[in-house]
Amino acid sequence: MIRPPPPVRAKNFRKAAVDPMKIQIVKNAASLPEGYALAIPLFAGNLTSTSPSSALPSDLWTEIHGWIKRTRYKANDGDFSHVRILIANRATDVLLLGCGSRDQAHAGIIRRAGGRAAVEARRLGVTTVVPVFDTDRGAQFPSLWIRAFATGFREGTYLLRPSKSASKPVQFALLGAAKAIASLQKDVEYGFAVGTAINTVRDIANQPGNQAPPRVIADQAKALAKAHGLSCTIWNKAELKKQRCRAILAVGQGSHEEPRLIQLSYAGRKKNLRPLVVVGKTITFDTGGISLKPAKNMEWMKFDKCGGMAVLAFMSIVASVIKPDRPVIGILTSAENMPGATATRPGDVIQSRNGKTIEVLNTDAEGRLVLADALDVACELNPSCIIDLATLTGAANVALGRPASPIMANHDALRNALQAAGEAVGDRVWPLPLYPDYERMLKSPFADLKNIGDGSAGTIIGGTFLKAFVRSDIPWAHIDLTSAWEERATSFGPAGATIFGAALLANWLESSGGSAA
Ligand code: BES
Ligand code: MN
Ligand code: ZN
């Protein structure tokens, strides 16, 4: 007789992280607080001709240029230096953040520079970071990059295991007259808000499998929804049965922890607009099931819920920052993939929600099963378009590695717009094709389709499988996440979930209004 596990108390995510970070406005350098540091993103080449920021004393630049000459500092991407110089008789910490050549710079580099500033500031005991953006010989620092820097900074302040004795969080100040820096302030506020949503959801995403089964994720999603005035519907096992979500149930049936389908809805002012629907794979732990994964590195599969986590963070940005006219619905399709006496077996045939039968040849290809039902639910909502995010295949990492995640779609314009949005915020995605030629690789003699191909084109086969569960007249895109988590702390942020994709979705919704065309 196996006893069900004891209830896990939903560890409430840290409310503090929800508060927007305060931005101080400081008129001139003389009134900067004790222990401040300047953070200066610098582009390689012609370093000693960088133009002075209007609000900073000119001898600062004389000093920095002298230092750069003496040390041959190059400002390549990731080059960091801490310089302490005397300005107007005041010792000033300067954090130089190399961003490589201006021509090759992109939002990801700037976002990491922001993260680096936060990490180094904490290490050095700096009280307040003051960014200096107008260093590119008079050229404008793009507004998108200011947002990216601010998001990265906020991300860099995240502590995986905050201790009570931890020093006060690093503050952020802008230098200049309130009027002159109004637009700068707006961009920083926007960037911080995105970073705050990401950090809040990181608390949920970083929980290990034992502490965060689907029912706990559902509780926490509900609490987050409530905090943002979003409505939230949760389907438990009984409701999933009623709703014919047999593929989700098949993935979860080896576990004592029951699956959940979680829906968060933002109403929008224009109820007649078709809703944007975003779907996230939320496997709270992926053992592979009966097709068990090897023991080595299996621990990382606690992050197999990160597609859903990006959807959660996105919904919180929708509610708190973007507030679009269009209704937006986020769906988390959640189960624990375990082996066991009741688990789905290789060769089992299941019928998904839309009626298609699936031969489950490998129980480790479970993400596409939970998504099959969720995408069918999404189609029923008469959406403007559907975007799904999932840690679907190891092959995605083989194809593109960490610098970019594969994106696939049934609609070129939607795919291109999402790619541009990712580029704008530093969540890079790159297209793979979904040629109909791939469909024959999923043919099964025993069912409408099987859940794996022959091992080639693994990521495309995953996308091709999902495509079969989306109505072909609905614009749909699928992102197979490759950098959903960091295995260890980086120079610009903590180990653990990155919530890759949330900033991308936010930027795309802002620029497109949530429609594909
Ligand atoms: N969650 C994994 C994919 C994954 C593995 C993402 C490692 C990131 C890191 C997914 O459920 C899976 O196991 N996919 C299989 C598919 C295969 C059986 C067709 C894979 O990639 O091996
Ligand atoms: Mn798997
Ligand atoms: Zn998985």
Transcribe 414-430 into DSSP letters.
Answer: HHHHHHHHHHHHT--EE
Q: Which residue has the higher pLDDT, 497 or 13?
A: 497
Q: Which residues line ligand 1 (CB under 6 A)?
A: 286, 304, 362, 364-367, 391, 393-395, 452, 458
The answer to whether residue 11 scores a pLDDT higher than 70 is no
Nearest-atom number in ligand 1 for the CA of 293 is 13
Give nearest CA residue, ligand 1 atom 13: 364
**Residue 138 pLDDT level (bands cut at 50, 70, 90):** low
Active site includes 74?
no
Mean of pLDDT values over 232-245: 98
**Residue 52 pLDDT level (bands cut at 50, 70, 90):** low
Q: Which residue has the higher pLDDT, 131 or 21?
A: 131
Model confidence over 305-343: pLDDT tens digits? 999 999 999 999 999 999 999 999 999 999 999 999 999
**Residue 45 pLDDT level (bands cut at 50, 70, 90):** confident
Would you call 484 helix, strand, or coil by DSSP? coil
CA 339 – ligand 1 centroid, Å: 16
Beta bridge partners of 75: none
Mean of pLDDT values over 89-97: 91
Mean of pLDDT values over 360-374: 99
Give the mutation target among 393, 461, 482, 483 for probing the ligand 1 site: most ligand atoms within 8 A of CB.
393
Give nearest CA residue, ligand 1 atom 14: 393
pLDDT at 276: 98
Model confidence over 304-314: pLDDT tens digits? 999 999 999 99
Given the residues 11, 293, 356, 471, the one annotated as active site: 293
Mean pLDDT of the chain: 93
C-alpha of 153 from chain center: 15
CA 413 – ligand 2 centroid, Å: 30
Given the residues 368, 415, 450, 467, the one annotated as active site: 368
The answer to whether residue 406 scores a pLDDT higher than 90 is yes
pLDDT at 4: 44
100: left (phi over 0), alpha (psi -120 to 50) or beta: left
Active site includes 293?
yes
**Cα–Cα distance measured from residue 236 to residue 216, given in angstroms and rounded to the nearest whole number:** 12
Nearest-atom number in ligand 1 for the CA of 451 is 19
Smallest-distance ligand from the CA of 392: 1
The answer to whether residue 463 scores a pLDDT higher than 50 is yes
Torsion of CA 106, 108, 114, 115, to 10 degrees: -160
Instruction: Read off the pTM.
Output: 0.96
Answer yes or no: are the C-beta atoms of 70 and 76 closer than 8 Å: no
Give the mutation target among 364, 461, 487 for probing the ligand 1 site: most ligand atoms within 8 A of CB.
364
